[in-house]
Structure 1
Amino acid sequence: MPDFLPIAYFEGQFVPFADAKISIATHGLHYGTGAFGGLRGTINPQNPHQVLLFRLDRHCRRLSNSAKYLHYNLSADKIKTVIKDFVSKNKPSKPFYIRPFVYTSDLGIAPRLHNIEKNFFVYGLEMGDYLSPDGISCRISSWYRQEDRSLPLRGKISGAYITSALAKTEAVDSGFDEAILMNSQGKVCEATGMNIFIVRNNKLITPNVDQDILEGITRDSIVTIAKDLEIEVEEREIDKTELFIADEVFLCGTAAKITPVKRVENYHLPADKKITMKLKEKLTEITENRDPIYKDWITVIDV
């Protein structure tokens, strides 16, 4: 059982986490008509009474945009205010993860988005490493990423994650840590909850946003950081075979941070991961508010 933070935001107020419950007839539970965000909270290494949130504005804006797909007008400013109050009330003392969620909260059985109540909640849990920081193994999933013409993939729509769940379990059951999904055109897309980067000839390469990927906030941050470090970045289609001959491969996301990939299928990747580690060290420095160049990416909350 995860260690959940004691206070949740639910139905417009802050309540004990144990009291934040929905009915088994809740519409969003049946039809996947929800959307979520996720962001990490870090305890300031220089001040244990401060929590650091990474790119809070960007996370709130993405969730607000995801809510629009559900015909739910929820402003980024509202989400931001609730999250800051949530952190202040919980006063966390260990690294943690925040899960804000919007959903159709009516009790009904007709799949629709019109004339139906929507709602918004926030909870959190303590979180260390989501995947091994030393590196993981990946398989190519037999499941394909959905297409944007059938699902709004730029939003974190809850129903879309059935594919991630199928792919993750398939990977683990077959002896791997994680799965890499192809898109409908047979190009490398993303992992089950992370974006993917490869390195070839000292160039950082990642699928571009028209490849049915999630527009990841960590992904966007890494592209910016790499360019600032004068690492050449190319956003383009990636073929499956490039994974097997890449100099480096890593996954990234809010939960995963930057996770090196040691093996794809039965192809072992080089142990030297110079660019991956350089980016990982810089991202850690930024999230701990130790780099003044990126201070505007960090929201400081006194607890």
Structure 2
Amino acid sequence: MHNFLPITYFEHKFIPFKDANISIATHALHYGTGAFGGMRGIPNPDNPEQILLFRLDRHAQRLSNSAKFLHYDLPADKIQQIIIDFVKQNKPDKSFYIRPFVYTSDLGIAPRLHKIEKNFFIYGLELGDYLPPDGISCRVSSWYRQEDRSLPLRGKISGAYITSSLAKTEAVESGFDEAILMNSQGKVCEASGMNIFIVRNGKIITPGFDQDILEGITRESVITIAQDLGIEVIERSVDKTELFIADEVFLSGTAAKITPVKRVETYQLSSNRPITNKLKSKLTAITANQDKSHQDWVYKIDL
């Protein structure tokens, strides 16, 4: 049961969440012609009258870029301001998640992006841990990640997430917490909605952008933090067998934050995760404005 924030931004105004409804004939519902973002926020531990948003500018810019694939001009600064106003309207007092969404809002039946109405809404919900923070089990999915030549993978296009949904359900129904998808070349790509990292011999290895991954904002943050700590990060293709012999494996994402992997298929991984734990502690501290580094990543909103 989700606890949704009471106010949403819908059709250019703020209204009660319960009143924000779309028609069953909405174009995006039928064709997956939408794009979304996801952002975490928390009340400032040192100031209950202030909300902290993690990397607001980057999230707004990525959604603006995603909207371009839908032929929708939605400037990042406009998205950012509406999100700020949204938070002020709701005044959340617990950790929460924001879901902004751009979509084709016409009621037509032809699959197209030209000469069709587009729109933008935002809602939010209280959100603690998305995945068990002490570690999860993963299976390698029988479903493969799409290729950029068939879908614009640089955007978070809603229609693309059918593959994630199939993979996640397959994993859970076969006794695992999460799925790991391979790309069309048979290389490790990402999880159902998270980027993936492995640690070998003190170095962090993660699939690069040429492996059809999502350009994750948390991924980018993890790489920067690792480099700050003097940990070498290598972006390259990753083979499935490397997952089984890795010293550490972890996932990253807005909802998942940094989540360690304790088992891949039948291969048990070490519970000793010094690099994962160090990165997780550092990211948590930065997000809560408890660390002096990268303070520009945290946007403060006074209620």
Shift of residue 43, structure 1, vs aligned partner: 1.2
Deviations 1:249-279 (A, max 9, x none): 0001000000000000000001100000000
Q: Helix, strand or coil for the counterpart of 1:49?
A: strand
Deviations 1:15-45 (A, max 9, x none): 0000110000000000000000000001111
**In structure 1, C-alpha distance between the alignment counterparts of 2:184 and 2:294, rounded to whole Å:** 37
* Residue of structure 2 in register with 1:94 after alignment: 94
Q: Where has structure 1 moved over 2 Å in runs of 4 or more?
A: none
* Residue of structure 2 in register with 1:142 after alignment: 142
* Residue of structure 1 in register with 2:156 after alignment: 156
* Residue of structure 2 in register with 1:266 after alignment: 266
Shift of residue 281, structure 1, vs aligned partner: 0.0
Shift of residue 213, structure 1, vs aligned partner: 0.2
* Residue of structure 2 in register with 1:253 after alignment: 253
Q: How does 1:62-211 map to 2 (within 5 A)?
A: 62-211=62-211
- Structure 2: unaligned runs, 5 residues or longer: none
**In structure 2, C-alpha distance between the alignment counterparts of 1:84 and 1:292, rounded to whole Å:** 23
Q: Helix, strand or coil for the counterpart of 1:8?
A: strand
Q: Which amino acid aligns with 1:194?
A: M
Q: State the Cα RMSD in Å.
A: 0.4
Q: Which amino acid aligns with 2:69?
A: Y
Shift of residue 101, structure 1, vs aligned partner: 0.1
Q: Percent identity?
A: 77
Q: Helix, strand or coil for the counterpart of 2:71?
A: coil
* Residue of structure 2 in register with 1:42 after alignment: 42
Q: Helix, strand or coil for the counterpart of 1:210?
A: helix
Q: TM-score, normalised by structure 1?
A: 1.00
* Residue of structure 1 in register with 2:282 after alignment: 282
**In structure 1, C-alpha distance between the alignment counterparts of 2:123 and 2:79, rounded to whole Å:** 13
Deviations 1:92-122 (A, max 9, x none): 0000000000000000110000000000000
Q: Which amino acid aligns with 1:14?
A: F
Q: Helix, strand or coil for the counterpart of 1:292?
A: coil
Aligned length: 303
Q: Which amino acid aligns with 2:101?
A: F
